[in-house]
Homo-oligomer: A and B are copies of this chain.
Amino acid sequence: MSRQVHLNVNILNAGVFGGSWRFPDTDPLASFTLGHYVDIARKAEAAAFDAVFLADGPGVREDLRYRPFNNLEPTVVLTAIAAATSRIGLIGTLSSTFNDPYDVARRLATLDVISGGRAGWNVVTTAGADVAANFGLDDEVEHAARYRRAAEFVQVVRALWNSWEPGAFVGDVERHVFADADRIHAAEHRGEHLSVAGPLNVPRSPQGEPVVVQAGASSDGRALAAAVGEVIFTAAQTIPDAREYYVDVKSRAALLGRDPEQVVVLPGLSTVIGATEAEARERRKLLAELVPPEYALNRLAGQLGVGREDLDLDRELPWRLLPEPDASGGSQTFYKVATDLARRERLTVRQLLFRLGGGAGHRIATGTPEQVADTILEWVDAGVADGFNLMPDVLPEGFDAFVDHVVPELRRRGRFRTGYTATTLRGHLGLDEPQWQRPGARAEAVAR
Contacts and interface: CB of A to CB of B under 8 A. Distances in A.
Interface of A: 21-22, 27-29, 32, 34, 58-60, 64-73, 75-77, 79-80, 82-84, 98-100, 102-103, 106-107, 110-111, 113-114, 130, 133-136, 138, 169, 171-173, 176-181, 184, 194-199, 201-203, 292
Which one of A60, A99, A138 has the highest number of Cβ atoms from chain B below 10 Å of its Cβ? A60
A133 B197 contact: yes
Copies in the complex: 2
Given A100-B99, A135-B100, A178-B64, A114 B76 contact: yes
Given A99-B103, A103-B58, A72 B179 contact: no
Given A22-B173, A69-B201, 19 more contacts: A22-B176, A28-B172, A34-B113, A34-B114, A59-B102, A59-B201, A60-B184, A64-B181, A64-B184, A68-B178, A71-B203, A73-B107, A75-B75, A76-B107, A77-B110, A79-B80, A133-B196, A138-B195, A176-B292
Contacts of A28: 171-173, 178
A134 B73 contact: no
A285 B242 CA distance: 69
A178 B111 contact: no
A36 to B, nearest CB: 11
Given A106-B58, A114-B80, A178 B65 contact: yes
B76 A134 contact: no
A418 to B, nearest CB: 28
Nearest to A107: B73
Contacts of A176: 22, 66, 292
A73 B203 contact: no
16 contacts: A22-B176, A29-B171, A32-B113, A58-B106, A60-B201, A64-B181, A66-B176, A70-B201, A72-B202, A73-B110, A75-B76, A76-B111, A76-B114, A99-B103, A102-B134, A130-B197
